[in-house]
Structure formats: structure tokens, C-alpha cells
Amino acid sequence: MTATRGLMRYRATIERKTLVPDGGGGSTPEWAPVATGVPCWAWMKSGTGGFSSIAQEGGKPTVVDARHVTVPLDTDIIVGDRVTVRDRRGTRVVFEAMILDAVGARPDHLHCLARTVT
């Protein structure tokens, strides 16, 4: 166990978009679980140091805060996955569903950047 793993006090559910037949010859995208109970640490930075950005929403500029999630190095997680973070007991949501915009490998963990799904 690494020092980073010891900080992973939350649990993540990772979902990936899959295409499901719609019965009419087509398909619709749905979220399917890839992993549950994944040890993680999550936090948010906003307003300083380039950790937030301005996006257009409804024609008005909106601040988008960057959310960060670290997971073990061997976790099956990719850009575009949806992640929900809960406490260890699974009772309290720390962060609602977030879409991953970037996943980067560090020596002992994966560092992910995410945005809130609205």
C-alpha cells in the first residue's frame, strides 16, 4: 500500500456509456457500472490558480469548478466515464455524478479531472 492509497477515504462508482438496443432497430446510450466501491479521494478547487474556467451556459458566462479524483493505479477508468463519490459507508454523497475530462497516471495512482453533470 502506498501513502496515496492511505488517503483514499471515499468510495467511487464508475459508470461507462454503452449502447442498448431500443427495440426499433436502433440503440440508445445508457450508463452501465464498470466498478463500485473503488477507493478514492476527491476534492474541488475553484476560483484561483487556473482550477476553474468560464463556460457559456444559456448565453451567460458560468464558472465551472474543477473537481479532482484520485483512484488506484490499476482502476479501469477512462475519459468520458461518469463517477459518483460517496463516503466509506456509502450513505453520503460527496460529489454527485461527474464526467471525467482527463485521466493521468502518477507513480502510485491515477489523477482525474472532472466536471459536474448538469
Closest CA to 70 of 101, 105, 33: 105
Cell numbers found for residue 1? 500500500
Q: Name the β-bridge partners of 113.
A: 68, 102
Helix (H) or strand (E) holding 102: strand 93-105
What does the radius of gyration of the chain's CA atoms come to, in whole angstroms?
16
CA dist 98 and 84 (Å) reads 6
- In this structure, the number of other CB atoms found within 10 A of the CB of residue 12 comes to 27
CA dist 104 and 110 (Å) reads 6
- In this structure, the number of other CB atoms found within 10 A of the CB of residue 59 comes to 5
3-39 confidence digits (pLDDT tens)? 677 789 999 999 999 988 888 888 888 999 999 999 9
63-82 confidence digits (pLDDT tens)? 666 799 999 999 999 999 99
pLDDT at position 58, please? 59
Where does residue 105 rank: exposed (0-12), middle (13-18), buried (19+ CB within 10 A)?
exposed
Q: Which domains does the chain have, with CATH numbers?
A: 3-116 (2.40.10.270)
